[in-house]
Structure 1
Amino acid sequence: MITIKDIARLAGVSITTVSKVINNYPDIGQETREKVIRIMKKYNYSPNAIARSLSTSKSNSIGVFIHYHPSRGLHQFFFHEILFGLETNLGKRGYDFVYFSDLKWKRSCNYLAKCLNRHIDGAILMGISVDDNLYELLQSNIPVVLLDLNLTGPNATYITSDNVSGAKKAVKHLKELGHQDIGMIGGLKDTFPTKTRSEGFFAETKRNGLTVRDEWIIYTSYNEEGGYRAMTRMLKSRELPTAVFCHSDMIAIGAIKAIKDSGYSVPDDFSVIGFDDVEVSTYINPGLTTVRQDSYSMGNQAANLLKSMMENPGARVEPIVLPVDLIIRESCKKIL
Structure 2
Amino acid sequence: MMKVTISDIAKAANVAKSTVSKVLNDSPKISQDTKRKVRDIMQQMNYIPSSIATGLARQSSLNIGLLVDMSKESEFLNQFFYNIIGGIESVIGPLNYELTLSNVQHDRPEGHFLNRLVRSKRVDGIIANNSVLTEELSIELNRLQFPYISIGEIIPPASWVDFDNVLGGRMLTGHLLEQGYSAIAFIGGQQFETIFTHRCNGFLQALQQAGITVNSNWIVNGQSDEHGGYQAALNLLQSDERPDSIVCMSSYVAFGVLQAAKELGINVPSQLGIAAFDEYPLSRYTTPPLTSLNIDTFSLGVSSGHLLMDRIRNSELPSRSLLLEPELIPRQSTLRNPS
TM over 0.5: yes
Partners in 1 of 2:257 and 2:273 — Cα distance? Answer: 11
Partners in 2 of 1:290 and 1:71 — Cα distance? Answer: 24
Partners in 1 of 2:284 and 2:96 — Cα distance? Answer: 35
Q: Select 2:152's aligned residue among 130, 148, 154.
A: 148
Give runs of ≥4 in structure 1 deviating > 6 Å: none
User: SS of 2:67's equivalent?
Assistant: strand
Q: 1:324 to 1:215 in 2, by over 3 A?
A: same
Q: How does 1:162-311 map to 2 (within 5 A)?
A: 162-235=164-237, 237-311=239-313
Q: How does 1:36-47 map to 2 (within 5 A)?
A: 38=37, 40=39
Q: Please give the TM-score of this superposition, normalised by the length of structure 1.
A: 0.77
For the Cα contact (< 8 Å) 1:112–1:136, is it kept in 2?
Answer: no
Partners in 2 of 1:185 and 1:60 — Cα distance? Answer: 44
For the Cα contact (< 8 Å) 1:182–1:210, is it kept in 2?
Answer: no
For the Cα contact (< 8 Å) 1:150–1:192, is it kept in 2?
Answer: no
In structure 2, runs of 5+ residues without a counterpart are 18-32, 43-56
Partners in 2 of 1:181 and 1:42 — Cα distance? Answer: 61
In structure 1, runs of 5+ residues without a counterpart are 1-11, 26-33, 44-54
For the Cα contact (< 8 Å) 2:130–2:154, is it kept in 1?
Answer: no
- Structure-1 residue corresponding to 2:8: 17
User: SS of 1:159's equivalent?
Assistant: strand
Partners in 2 of 1:61 and 1:42 — Cα distance? Answer: 28
Q: 1:107 to 1:228 in 2, by over 3 A?
A: farther
Q: 1:119 to 1:258 in 2, by over 3 A?
A: farther
Larger CA deviation: 214-223 vs 256-265: 256-265
Residue 148 of structure 1 aligns to which amino acid in structure 2? G
Q: Deviations over 1:93-122 (max 9, x none)?
A: 2222222335x5469996644542463211
- How many residues get paired? 302
Q: Deviations over 1:194-244 (max 9, x none)?
A: 221111111111121224322211223344344334434434533221111
1:134 corresponds to 2:137: yes
For the Cα contact (< 8 Å) 1:64–1:123, is it kept in 2?
Answer: yes
Partners in 1 of 2:41 and 2:260 — Cα distance? Answer: 48
Larger CA deviation: 107-116 vs 158-167: 107-116
Q: Deviations over 1:144-170 (max 9, x none)?
A: 1111214332xx311112221221111
Q: How much identity, in percent, do the aligned residues show?
A: 26
Larger CA deviation: 156-165 vs 76-85: 76-85
For the Cα contact (< 8 Å) 1:72–1:222, is it kept in 2?
Answer: no
Q: 1:328 to 1:69 in 2, by over 3 A?
A: farther
1:96 corresponds to 2:98: yes
For the Cα contact (< 8 Å) 2:65–2:127, is it kept in 1?
Answer: yes
RMSD across aligned C-alpha pairs, in angstroms? 3.3
CA-CA distance at 1:89 after TM superposition = 1.7
Q: 1:84 to 1:37 in 2, by over 3 A?
A: closer
CA-CA distance at 1:184 after TM superposition = 0.4
Residue 120 of structure 1 aligns to which amino acid in structure 2? V
CA-CA distance at 1:307 after TM superposition = 0.6
Partners in 2 of 1:212 and 1:179 — Cα distance? Answer: 14
For the Cα contact (< 8 Å) 2:67–2:132, is it kept in 1?
Answer: no
Residue 5 of structure 2 aligns to which amino acid in structure 1? S
